[in-house]
Chains A and B, each alone.
Chain A
Amino acid sequence: MIRMIKSMPLYLLAIIILIVMGLPFVIMLLTSFKGQMEFMTSPWSIPESFSLDNYLLLVELEFFGYFVNSLIVAVVSVVIVIIISAMASYPLARLKFRLNRPIFILFMVGMMIPIHTTLVPIFILTNKMGLYDSLIGLIGPYIAFALPISVVIFTQFMRDIPKELEESAKIDGCSHLRLFWNIIFPLLTPAVATVAIYNFIHIWNEFIFALVLTNSSQNATLPIGLREFYGEFSVNIPGIMAALTLGSLPLLLVYFIAQEKIVTGLAAGSVKG
């Protein structure tokens, strides 16, 4: 009992933060089930009936195309980032050569570079390559800007792998490629998880490149689709809330299924840096 009273302020604080963090989600979800009339008369009440009309409207408007686009872009980018950044980190972490430090720093500096500083040249470059308004045009910049953090995470992780491991392999005349692929890469699982989760969340939600490099709704990713929808249906607030709910659902679902994995995975690499 005394314990309960002692922890009262803690509960109070925890619940206040819970409301601040969670209430917007609750309101978003509840509003999405309402009709426009019902929203007008009582905007913040619990809906009278849980109608799925707003969601059906989204299906009709082919909202799922945006999901597919975002998924393609995010998965392709993340897979390529994992492979090429792990590869680049291998010599940076395990081999001595003169340009080692400068190259590592060059990658690391990328973390502070504002995307906007590269926006105009990338826009022009993408146009010149004929990739404007295509999903492939997005993948290039997404990979490029995911590289710095990924290289840093992989390099730091690889430095901690004991040297003896590869020494015996080297004596056996194992090539660097086989050494990396068969011995080092399988040991990187925790770092791969961090890099994958972190970059997937970022790319899935990325906005500015998608805004500048695509034009048609056929090639729009989810954030662009949401904004388009908001522009077109700005009066239909319950409809917008349904779109927001649907747009946030994939990541939230994955999060609820594999919560502990995502949270620890996300932190595992970053904390060390």
Chain B
Amino acid sequence: MNRSQEVSLDTVRSGVRKKKKNKDTWAIIGFIAPAFIIYGVYVIYSIFMTFYYSMFDWTGIDANMVFLGLENYVRLFQDGVFWTSIQNNFLLVIASLFTQLPIGLIMALLLFSPIKGMRLFRSVYFMPFLMSTVAIGILFIFIYEGNYGLLNAVLGAIGLESLQTAWIGKESTAIWAVIATVCWQFAPFYMILFRATIVGIPEELYEAADIDGASGWQRFKSITLPLLMPIIITSAILSVIGSLKYFDLIYVMTGGGPNNSTELMATYMYKQTFTNFNMGYGSSISFSMFIIALIVTVFILLGDRSRRGNE
């Protein structure tokens, strides 16, 4: 092909491309618009409105809105319950990371170990994830109940009567009882993610390790774990973000009590907004939740990027 032909071909091509681009633009808009509009109205618009509402003293019922500027945030910083709730949220983040993920991983590994009755184990291990949080909450209220609760009955049966207590009725134990329940609910989800990744690991890798005489632990440490790392990181992100916005179980089981000892940002926000009808103040709590989640996400992403850079 000689040069002049090439040039003319190029001009033809760019002409076609321009026309195509126009057509594409409308297609792009048409395809994205339905999702974007719904997402825009319910999520993006709402975040801005939350910030707007957070600058008012407002019950939400009447039209009487008093502009306060950032006064709600000043009040929030001096609000002891809010600090307790942040503390509990971060406790939940840490506890979730160090219970849900390891237990999920252990369960996933058990499903690949040479034991019989695999179908039964697998079926039962996953069940908690399918139950509604409200149902789990109500069920565990009775498990933790002080007089006839299942947990106390089990403790009694194995001779640990001294540990029996009203688990969610006491400030010192309530938050741990709830955290254990959250773990019970979500460990199965991570098990599924880990299991799916382990299934994808080529059998040859293990065969090669067997030839080299690697022990079970060595196989895990040098083959399974490194290949699981990306999904462990993803799971950690999901777990952290999920813990920061956690609500359902606490609301059903303790309502933030006793004496705010299990209060989370989300339960406190709900209480202020829909029980006390402080829509303005409640909005300042929920906007703070957004900011905290945003900061944590940015940190995770930056950490992830530098980790990838190191590899």
Contacts and interface: CB of A to CB of B under 8 A. Distances in A.
Contacts of A103: 32, 36
Most buried by A among B135, B279, B294: B135
A117 B27 contact: no
Contact of A122 (B34, B46, B121, B138): B46
A263 interface: yes
A20 interface: yes
Nearest to B291: A117
A190 B125 CA distance: 24
Contacts of B36: 88, 103
B133 A117 contact: no
Contact of A95 (B24, B270, B282, B289): B24
A192 interface: no
Nearest to B110: A14
B41 A88 contact: no
B115 interface: yes
Contacts of A255: 123, 126-127, 130
A87 B31 contact: yes
A244 B290 contact: no
B44 to A, nearest CB: 8
Main secondary structure of the interface of A (DSSP, over half): helix
Interface string B129-148: 11111110011101100001
A116 B291 CA distance: 12
Contact of B132 (A207, A230, A240): A207
A244 B200 CA distance: 36
Contact of A84 (B34, B60, B140, B266): B34
B34 A88 contact: yes
Contacts of B269: 116, 119
B230 to A, nearest CB: 9
Contacts of A244: 135, 138-139
Given A116-B289, A145-B43, A227-B252, A10 B270 contact: no
A125 B287 CA distance: 17
Nearest to B52: A121
Contacts of B245: 114-116
B209 interface: no
B293 interface: yes
B133 A205 contact: yes
Contact of B247 (A20, A23, A116, A176): A116
Size bracket, chain A contacts: 35 or more
Given A24-B139, A212-B274, A252 B45 contact: no
Contacts of A20: 184
Contacts of B293: 112-114
A117 B34 contact: no
A113 B25 CA distance: 29
B39 A24 contact: no
Interface in B85-102: none
A145 B31 contact: no
B131 A267 contact: no
A259 B129 CA distance: 13
A140 B34 CA distance: 12
A34 B101 CA distance: 37
Contacts of B188: 21
B25 A97 contact: yes
Contacts of B130: 201, 248, 251-252, 255
Interface string A8-44: 0011011001101111110110000000000000011
A90 B290 contact: no
Interface string B4-37: 0000000000000000000011011011101110
Given A14-B110, A114-B244, A263-B126, A205 B132 contact: yes
A268 interface: yes
Interface string A193-218: 00000000100110110001000000
Given A10-B110, A113-B290, A259-B123, A144 B31 contact: no
Interface string B193-219: 101110010000000000000000000
Contacts of B70: none
B35 A84 contact: yes
Contacts of A204: 132
A271 B25 contact: no
Nearest to A14: B110
B125 A121 contact: no
Contacts of A111: 241
A88 B38 CA distance: 12
Contact of B127 (A148, A240, A252, A268): A252
B31 A90 contact: yes
B134 to A, nearest CB: 4
15 contacts: A3-B114, A17-B110, A22-B124, A88-B35, A88-B36, A91-B32, A95-B24, A103-B36, A106-B44, A117-B50, A118-B50, A120-B279, A121-B45, A121-B53, A144-B39
Kindly list the 5 A-B residue pairs having the minimum CB-CB distance in the complex, ordered from nearest.
A267-B196, A144-B42, A118-B46, A114-B245, A205-B132
Given A17-B103, A180-B31, A267-B196, 4 more contacts: A17-B110, A120-B273, A205-B132, A267-B192
